[in-house]
Amino acid sequence: MHSVVCIKQVPDSAQIRVHPVTNTIMRQGVPTIINPYDLFALEAALELRDKFGGEVTILTMGPPSAEDSLRKALTFGADRAVLLTDRFFAGADTLATTYALATAIRKIGQEYGKPDIIFTGKQTIDGDTAQVGPGIAKRLGLLQLTYVARIGALDLQARSLEAERRAEGGVQVLRTKLPCLITMLEATNQIRRGAMADALRAARADIVKWSAQDAGVEDISKCGLRGSPTIVKRVFAPSARAEKAAFVEAAEQPADALIEAIFKRQPTLEADLAALARGF
């Protein structure tokens, strides 16, 4: 079977800082990582390959430097990596992104065999929209299962797949047909460490690079900024509250002083807490 895993290279958001003078994002020197949620998707694909054989192809849309993430993803044991990179993709929102990715996935199907499952992570840590997976599914006419916690029975002959999907208050057990798209929930597995042979192969691999044209994009106006219905108009830091915190200067009994300050500010709170504490 053939799985395609979409990954994204993202800035390590824990390290992004704002320039103290100009108030813009300082991107230089911020290390990039593979979006952590994507690794759960990759491991799920690799586990299916362990069971059923076949291949795992990784796809990412990004700047040329995204090659680093693809190479790293290969060390986990994937079979090939495709980098979709073109200046026309810059500034894409999720709709324009899914157009490009869906086109590339179709091309991957032509070159390397039609995929049975497309995997994506739940969301990215820089965008957090969770929209790309569903968007790709819709464009490719694939059935979609999001927030999958576990992949169950897979019957390649019958082209059917069972999976557990997280819903509010519980888990849906669903059966669907291949080909389909799955977004994996976090903490559902742990990405394996590649063996030496995988690491060697990754280091030497030729990453396939496709421009928009190579990938078969028919309508370039659907890509990048031009193809994005949403526009970011303003980026700003949240305004500081007019009043900063009133400090309780540690007195003899700081805990008591703090409680006094709390109840002084919100007198009704004392009764509320007493009621809660009594378990009502």
Chain positions 114 to 143 lying near another protein, rule: CB under 8 A, are 123-135, 137-139, 143
- 104, 147, 179, 189: which one contacts another protein (CB under 8 A)? 147
Nearest distance from C-beta of residue 199 to another protein, angstroms: 5
Nearest distance from C-beta of residue 111 to another protein, angstroms: 23
234 burial type by CB count under 10 A (0-12 exposed, 13-18 middle, 19+ buried): exposed
Largest Cα–Cα separation, the chain: 75
Number of residues near another protein (by CB under 8 A): 112
| Tokens found for residue 31 | 């290390």
Nearest distance from C-beta of residue 245 to another protein, angstroms: 3
Nearest distance from C-beta of residue 52 to another protein, angstroms: 21
| Tokens found for residue 48 | 């299916």
- 52, 113, 167, 213: which one contacts another protein (CB under 8 A)? 167
Of 35, 178, 37, which Cα lies nearest the Cα of 118? Answer: 178
- 2, 3, 5, 8: which one contacts another protein (CB under 8 A)? 8
Does residue 266 bind another protein (CB under 8 A)? Answer: yes
The piece of 7-15, 44-52, 108-116, 206-214 that touches another protein (CB under 8 A) is 7-15
For 212, the 3-state DSSP assignment is coil
Q: Tell me if 248 sits within 8 A of 257, measured CB to CB.
A: yes
| Tokens found for residue 278 | 């009594």
